[in-house]
Amino acid sequence: MEKHKINDLFGKPVTVVNIGLGSMAQSIRDQDVPVVDLDWKPPAEGVKRLMVTKAGIDIDAANDEAVKRIKAGRPVLVGMGVAKDVIPGMHSRMFLHAGPPVTWERMCGPTRGAVMGALIYEGIAKDEAEAEKMAAGGEIEFSPCHHHHAVGPMAGVVSPSMPVFILENKAFGNKAYCTQNEGLGKVLRYGGMGPEVYARLKWMETVLYPVLSRALETLPEGIDIKSLIAQALHMGDECHNRNRAATSLLLRAFGPALARTSQNNEDLARVIEFIDRNDHFFLNLSMPAGKAMLEPAEGIPGCSLVTVMARNGTDIGIRVSAMPERWFTAPAGIVKGLYFPGFGEEDANPDIGDSTITETAGFGGFAMAAAPAITKFVGGTPELAKQTTLEMYEITAGEHDGFTIPVLNFRGTPLGMDIRKVVETGILPQINTGIAHKKPGVGGIGAGILRAPMACFKEAFDAFETL
């Protein structure tokens, strides 16, 4: 460490941080000296300020290492494949779902709908009644996406035949997987069921996937998703609830290769239309990008940063780097938001999906200042978006120098949720998300924002204290 001296302070302009009495800050201000007057509140009662673990590990140093690894990550879209062939541990009778583990009995409506719909799409069940019987009868093994290096938006159901994107973190060599995004409304990931849902999934499997996959094969370097996220953050996206710019950038990146590998121009045109009409197409790349960047930060002894935050519509669960195998759960929250015509809050399922991997990786709701347009979901203002991001710096260990926010003078996004800071400050992580109908089969009905609940962070903190 650099050797400092008290004398280094002498003669330098003074900038004060005031912690406590407002009059102290005012006195400094009266002298025309800059002062940051903290909006200080006592820490939560009984919360110790942990600097080292029980085993003696320097927590800040461990967290710095995690932040370094996440920042160094370089997720690249390297190819595509079919789930059962490429996702580790996947088999023909396994369905993945979003969030922490959940049994059929406790599964929420949209996840049940997605499971049943996927059984029909797979041709395993012939109708909803049979699908429900099979799912309830234990014929399908359910497993969280996160147990398989995968992530799924909303219900997050990945069934064996679904094509998936394969992302590789070029800095560490780990891979992450995610399905192709279906669009909004009545779609499987929101629990939607019906012939149009299955037909779309079939088309995505038989047309969209081969077209994209062929194009990708001609791009030996793949498509650098990290770079697209960085650019989209400068174009009004936060890459969770708003992916409009990123989706456009993705099409540009794909464009020439799509043209060169096209075997049928009508198919190609439909592919481009499909992507163009689905502003969220890129979500299924920003999510695995987040996953790919976060995995190398898992399992660092003494690290108190969250590496997974995910919801299954019943529970929200988090995993902490130092305890990579454990889930800490709490009931999933209620989303405040805007609804499609004909739907309201009474129809909404609690918070659902793995898409909070984006917040965990330092974008999404944490980069809300980059996406003032999405504050309209809660009738907020661009100023609110800015304040939200600024508040997230309070509970994060670092700043992502790869992802910057123009309106904050290109400051890096808040990165690395620290359970210590969440528990101590009471500031809860911002989540931007879509809203699913609580009944199976209906689909997406809106979008909004909420904060993650304290309970899972407190539980994780209590466990962390014993390490």
Partner 1 sequence: MAVKTLIKTSEYHDSVSLMLVARELSKLPGVSDAAVVMGTEANKSILEQAGMLTDEVKAATPNDLVIAVSAPEDAAANALLEAEKLLQKKAGPAGEAEAFRPKTVRAAVKSSPAANVAIISVAGRYAADEAWEALRRGLHVLLFSDNVSLEDEIALKQYAADHGLLLMGPGAGTAIINGVALAFANVVPAGPVGIVSAAGTGLQEVSTLLGKNGVGITQGIGTGGRDLKESVGGIMMLAGLKALQEDPATQVIVLVGKPPAPSVTQKVLEQVALCPKPTVVCFMGGDMEAVKAVPNAIPARTLEEGGLLAAKVAGAPIGDVKAQIEAETLRLKEQAAGLKKALKPGQRYLRGLFSGGTLCYEAQVIWTDLIPETVLSNAPLDKHKQMADSTRSQGHCTIDLGEEEFTVGRPHPMIDNDLRIRRLLQEAHDPEVAVIIMDVVLGYGAHMDPASELGPAIRQARQIAHDAGRELFIVASVTGTEQDPQGLSRQSAALTEAGAIICGSNAAASRLAGMLVA
The correct pick among 20, 256, 301, 379 for binding partner 1 (CB under 8 A) is: 20
Q: Are 418 and 396 in contact (CB under 8 A)?
A: yes
- Please report, as residue ranges, which positions from 76 to 135 form the binding site for partner 1 (by CB under 8 A): none
> Minimum CB separation from partner 1 for residue 43, in Å?
7
Q: Are 322 and 464 in contact (CB under 8 A)?
A: yes
- Non-local (6+) Cβ contacts of 363 within 8 A are 229, 233, 238, 239, 240, 286, 290, 370, 400, 403, 413
> Minimum CB separation from partner 1 for residue 415, in Å?
12
- Please report, as residue ranges, which positions from 426 to 455 form the binding site for partner 1 (by CB under 8 A): 427
DSSP state letter for 373: G
Q: The tokens 């800071």 sit on which residue?
A: 421
- Non-local (6+) Cβ contacts of 286 within 8 A are 225, 229, 239, 240, 243, 246, 358, 363
Cβ closest to partner 1, residue 207 vs residue 390 = 390
User: By three-state DSSP, how is residue 318 classified?
Assistant: strand
The correct pick among 186, 226, 319, 438 for binding partner 1 (CB under 8 A) is: 226
Residue count (the chain): 467
Please tell me whether residue 13 binds partner 1 under the rule CB under 8 A. Answer: yes
CA nearest 34: which of 17, 19, 9? 17
From 5-13, 133-141, 187-195, 326-334, span contacting partner 1 (CB under 8 A): 5-13
> Minimum CB separation from partner 1 for residue 215, in Å?
17
Please tell me whether residue 28 binds partner 1 under the rule CB under 8 A. Answer: yes
What's the CA gap between 292 and 168, in Å, rounded?
7
> For partner 1, how many residues bind (rule: CB under 8 A)?
70
Please tell me whether residue 53 binds partner 1 under the rule CB under 8 A. Answer: no
As given in the structure block, the two tokens for residue 277 are 């009409």
User: By three-state DSSP, how is residue 308 classified?
Assistant: strand
> Minimum CB separation from partner 1 for residue 32, in Å?
10
Please tell me whether residue 280 binds partner 1 under the rule CB under 8 A. Answer: no
Please tell me whether residue 45 binds partner 1 under the rule CB under 8 A. Answer: no
> Minimum CB separation from partner 1 for residue 34, in Å?
7
Please tell me whether residue 296 binds partner 1 under the rule CB under 8 A. Answer: no
From 230-238, 296-304, 315-323, 440-448, span contacting partner 1 (CB under 8 A): 230-238
The correct pick among 46, 49, 220, 341 for binding partner 1 (CB under 8 A) is: 49
As given in the structure block, the two tokens for residue 163 are 């094509």
- Please report, as residue ranges, which positions from 393 to 422 form the binding site for partner 1 (by CB under 8 A): 393-394, 399, 401-402, 404, 406-412, 421
From 33-41, 141-149, 326-334, 433-441, span contacting partner 1 (CB under 8 A): 33-41
User: By three-state DSSP, how is residue 258 classified?
Assistant: helix
The three-point CA angle 274-277-281 to 5° equals 75
The correct pick among 65, 130, 224, 267 for binding partner 1 (CB under 8 A) is: 224
DSSP state letter for 161: T
What's the CA gap between 151 and 170, in Å, rounded?
19
DSSP state letter for 52: B
CA nearest 145: which of 302, 335, 327? 327
The correct pick among 105, 123, 221, 466 for binding partner 1 (CB under 8 A) is: 221
Please tell me whether residue 52 binds partner 1 under the rule CB under 8 A. Answer: no
- Please report, as residue ranges, which positions from 348 to 387 form the binding site for partner 1 (by CB under 8 A): 383, 386-387
CA distances from 280 to 242, 247, 276, 284 (A): 7, 7, 9, 8
Residues that bind partner 1 (CB under 8 A): 1, 3-21, 23-25, 27-28, 30-31, 33-34, 36-43, 49, 51, 60, 74, 170, 221, 224, 226-227, 230-231, 234, 383, 386-387, 390-391, 393-394, 399, 401-402, 404, 406-412, 421, 425, 427
